[in-house]
């Protein structure tokens, strides 16, 4: 089995098989870096259906990234959960570059086109030659039924001006409608094929898919195969479809893409929205009579060849009509992508990688969360109540701690001011001679008591009156007397110290006088 990055798995009805695909490395292409034109500016030529036309002028590829008022409303907002159906703009991300394959260069062979006299079929060649695309093909081979007829159709003025003629080589088939041989595929790295289903014999188209796989296996040099199956509404045999896809998946070192559409008509590219399903499944069956734009089919099959997200995918593209345009999720999503400024590569990549499936998953997650919030179980109610109580307790503890810290700081500041006033008062009365720091250390307990009283008065806090016992009163008096004696002793000691200094100074003066007398 082959494994891809990102992982892409396509499951098919009626089988237990699930395809896993090959890993494809990437590299940076020199792609147009111009600012994307807003979808509103590119919608001037929208079709009469009123559906927003896509912006097809710019590409954005980057091969360095992989794609992959009530309480209820407030709770949903906190969880960053929203309903995509009501807020599509929020659901759709800002357009970003998308991952392209690394090996879409060298030689590409195009088969199944330029066989009709009604049209030239040059469009598919122009897309593969677009200089703003990630395609870097040096040679484009047109494998046709009638070589002379094809040259007349393709040798146009636009082909000459675009540089297509410099790369184009026309080769004729051995018999009309036949596939190229392994020899014709020598040196070919990519193959784009067109299969038109015969409604009388739809199985022939699936056999052609198997034949393509067989020729590619024999050629060994083919790295990418992209197949467009038009008129696929006639294919109802899902088992045969799965078998045909398995044959492509079995080819070693080759990535495949199958795009199945309905009957081809000539509507403008992008004029109708579409939905994407897995080819070979019940959901991927196309209704009889369903149509698909020729220009859109060419866009899809070439984009899937370029996109890394298109590797090893078998897809059905179904066009929306009538009420489906306004009612289908796919139509709403595509319109939102185009309004957000997504280019065709970005749009198709989004539909392959995320698409309706991811959109529906997001809506379901929103509805489930909404239901859980509005109709919680008893366990969730109890847990929420417990969490709310714990949060309230935590907030209360934090608030209490903050208020206590503020009170402590303010009380200390008032105690400092009180001690400073008492110090200067005592200095003026001559009761103290020591430093302010020494005095403050002695009276600090009293200063804090006075500051606490002042704080309570200022903040209208009721002062608790505590009746002291006789022993407590005696103890308090003793403590006050001790503090007073300590202050007096400090003053006395400092005075004695100062007197001793003065006496020493007088003795020195007497000695000096004696010296003078001598």
Q: Is 257 helix (H, G, I), strand (E, B) or coil?
A: strand
Domain count, the chain: 2
- State whether 334 and 209 are in the same domain: yes
Lowest mean per-residue pLDDT among 45-49, 134-138, 475-479: 45-49
For 69, the token pair is: 């008022």
Summary mean pLDDT of the chain: 81
Lowest mean per-residue pLDDT among 31-35, 278-282, 470-474: 31-35
- State whether 477 and 343 are in the same domain: no
Task: Specify if 129 maps to a domain.
Answer: no
pTM score, whole prediction: 0.64
- State whether 348 and 492 are in the same domain: no
- State whether 359 and 235 are in the same domain: yes
Task: Specify if 156 maps to a domain.
Answer: no
- Condensed to tens digits (0 to 9), the pLDDT of residues 296-309 reads 999 999 999 999 99
- What is the residue range of 486's domain? 466-518
What's the pLDDT at 75?
58
- Condensed to tens digits (0 to 9), the pLDDT of residues 171-208 reads 999 999 999 999 999 999 999 999 999 999 999 999 99
Secondary structure E strands in 72-146: 105-111, 136-144
Is the model more confident about 442 or about 497?
A: 442
Q: Which residues contact 270 (CB under 8 A, 6 or more apart)?
A: 51, 53, 54, 56, 296, 299, 344
CA distances from 142 to 73, 132, 188, 259 (A): 60, 21, 12, 20
Q: What is the average per-residue pLDDT within 86-104?
A: 94
Answer whether residue 513 shows pLDDT above 90. Answer: no
- Condensed to tens digits (0 to 9), the pLDDT of residues 358-397 reads 999 999 989 988 888 888 888 888 888 999 999 999 999 9
What's the pLDDT at 384?
84
| Spatial distance between the Cα atoms of 427 and 434, rounded to a whole number of angstroms | 9
What's the pLDDT at 316?
98
- State whether 480 and 342 are in the same domain: no
CA distances from 336 to 70, 317, 347, 456 (A): 28, 18, 10, 65
Q: Is 270 helix (H, G, I), strand (E, B) or coil?
A: coil
Answer whether residue 433 shows pLDDT above 90. Answer: no
| Spatial distance between the Cα atoms of 191 and 111, rounded to a whole number of angstroms | 8
Answer whether residue 406 shows pLDDT above 60. Answer: yes
What's the pLDDT at 36?
32
227: phi then psi, degrees, rounded to nearest 5: -120, 130
What's the pLDDT at 74?
57
| Spatial distance between the Cα atoms of 253 and 1, rounded to a whole number of angstroms | 11
Q: What is the average per-residue pLDDT within 409-415?
A: 90
The DSSP secondary-structure symbol of 232 reads G
From 371, 390, 424, the end of a domain falls on 371
Task: Specify if 286 maps to a domain.
Answer: yes
**Which of the four pLDDT bands, split at 50, 70 and 90, describes residue 291?**
very high
Task: Specify if 167 maps to a domain.
Answer: no
**Which of the four pLDDT bands, split at 50, 70 and 90, describes residue 39?**
very low
Strands 255-260 and 224-230: parallel
Q: What is the average per-residue pLDDT within 453-472?
A: 70
Task: Specify if 518 maps to a domain.
Answer: yes
**Which of the four pLDDT bands, split at 50, 70 and 90, describes residue 11?**
very low
Task: Specify if 417 maps to a domain.
Answer: no
From 346, 371, 396, the end of a domain falls on 371
- State whether 363 and 470 are in the same domain: no
From 324, 348, 371, the end of a domain falls on 371
Smallest CA-to-CA distance from 347 within 58, 40, 4, 20 is with: 58
202: phi then psi, degrees, rounded to nearest 5: -65, -25
**Which of the four pLDDT bands, split at 50, 70 and 90, describes residue 18?**
very low
- State whether 214 and 334 are in the same domain: yes
| Spatial distance between the Cα atoms of 41 and 55, rounded to a whole number of angstroms | 9
Quote helix, strand, coil % in the chain, to nearest 5.
50, 15, 40
What's the pLDDT at 20?
31
Smallest CA-to-CA distance from 59 within 115, 3, 136, 147 is with: 136
- Condensed to tens digits (0 to 9), the pLDDT of residues 231-271 reads 999 999 999 999 999 999 999 999 999 999 999 999 999 99
Q: Which residues contact 36 (CB under 8 A, 6 or more apart)?
A: 55, 58, 60, 95, 341, 343
Residue where the block lists tokens 């494994």: 3
Given a contact cutoff of 8 angstroms between Cβ atoms, the answer to whether 287 and 5 are in contact is no
For 154, the token pair is: 């393709």
**Which of the four pLDDT bands, split at 50, 70 and 90, describes residue 58?**
very low
What's the pLDDT at 76?
56
Helix axes 294-306, 344-353, angle to 10 degrees: 70
What's the pLDDT at 269?
95
Task: Specify if 220 maps to a domain.
Answer: yes
Answer whether residue 23 shows pLDDT above 70. Answer: no
- State whether 473 and 362 are in the same domain: no
Q: Which residues contact 228 (CB under 8 A, 6 or more apart)?
A: 112, 192, 193, 194, 195, 259, 261, 297, 298, 300, 301
Task: Specify if 338 maps to a domain.
Answer: yes
Helix axes 378-429, 436-458, angle to 10 degrees: 130
The DSSP secondary-structure symbol of 339 reads H
């Amino acid at each position: 089995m082959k494994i891809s990055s990102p992982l892409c798995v396509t499951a098919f009805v009626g089988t237990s098989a699930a395809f896993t695909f090959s890993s494809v490395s990437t590299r940076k292409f020199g792609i147009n870096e111009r600012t994307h034109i807003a979808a509103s500016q590119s919608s001037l030529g929208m079709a009469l259906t009123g559906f927003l036309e896509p912006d097809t002028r710019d590409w954005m590829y980057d091969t360095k990234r992989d794609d992959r008022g009530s309480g209820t409303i407030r709770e949903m907002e906190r969880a960053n959960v929203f309903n995509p159906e009501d807020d599509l703009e929020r659901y759709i991300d800002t357009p970003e570059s998308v991952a392209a394959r690394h090996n879409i260069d060298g030689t590409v062979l195009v088969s199944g086109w330029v066989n009709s006299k009604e049209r030239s079929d040059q469009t598919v060649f122009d897309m593969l030659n677009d200089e703003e695309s990630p395609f870097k093909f040096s040679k484009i081979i047109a494998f046709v039924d009638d070589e002379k007829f094809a040259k007349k159709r393709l040798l146009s003025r636009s082909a000459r001006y675009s540089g297509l003629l410099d790369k184009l080589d026309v080769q004729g088939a051995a018999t009309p409608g036949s596939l190229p041989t392994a020899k014709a595929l020598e040196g070919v790295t990519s193959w784009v094929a067109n299969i038109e289903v015969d409604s009388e014999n739809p199985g022939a188209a699936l056999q052609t898919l198997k034949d393509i796989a067989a020729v590619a296996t024999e050629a060994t040099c083919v790295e990418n195969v992209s197949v467009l199956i038009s008129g696929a509404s006639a294919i109802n045999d899902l088992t045969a479809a799965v078998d045909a896809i398995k044959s492509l998946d079995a080819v070693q070192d080759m990535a495949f893409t199958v795009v199945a559409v309905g009957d081809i008509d000539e509507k403008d590219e992008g004029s109708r929205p579409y939905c994407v399903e897995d080819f070979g499944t019940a959901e991927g069956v196309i209704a009889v009579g369903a149509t698909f734009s020729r220009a859109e089919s060419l866009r899809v099959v070439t984009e899937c060849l370029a996109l890394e997200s298109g590797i090893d995918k078998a897809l059905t593209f179904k066009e929306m009509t009538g009420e489906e345009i306004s009612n289908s999720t796919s139509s709403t999503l595509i319109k939102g992508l185009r309004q957000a400024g997504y280019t065709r590569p970005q749009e198709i990549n989004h539909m392959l990688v995320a698409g309706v499936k991811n959109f529906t998953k997001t809506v379901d997650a929103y509805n489930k969360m909404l239901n859980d919030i509005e109709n919680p179980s008893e366990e969730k109610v109890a847990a929420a109540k417990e969490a709310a109580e714990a949060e309230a307790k935590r907030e209360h503890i934090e608030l209490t701690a903050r208020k206590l810290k503020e009170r402590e700081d303010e009380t200390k500041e008032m105690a400092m001011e009180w001690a400073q006033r008492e110090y200067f008062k005592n200095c003026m009365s001559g009761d103290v001679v020591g430093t302010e720091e020494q005095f403050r250390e002695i009276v600090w307990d009293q200063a804090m008591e006075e500051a606490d009283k002042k704080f309570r008065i200022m903040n209208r806090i009721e002062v608790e009156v505590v009746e002291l016992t006789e022993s407590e009163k005696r103890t308090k008096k003793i403590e006050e007397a001790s503090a007073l004696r300590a202050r007096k002793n400090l003053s006395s000691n400092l005075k004695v110290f100062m007197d001793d200094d003065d006496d020493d100074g007088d003795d020195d003066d007497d000695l000096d006088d004696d010296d003078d007398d001598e």
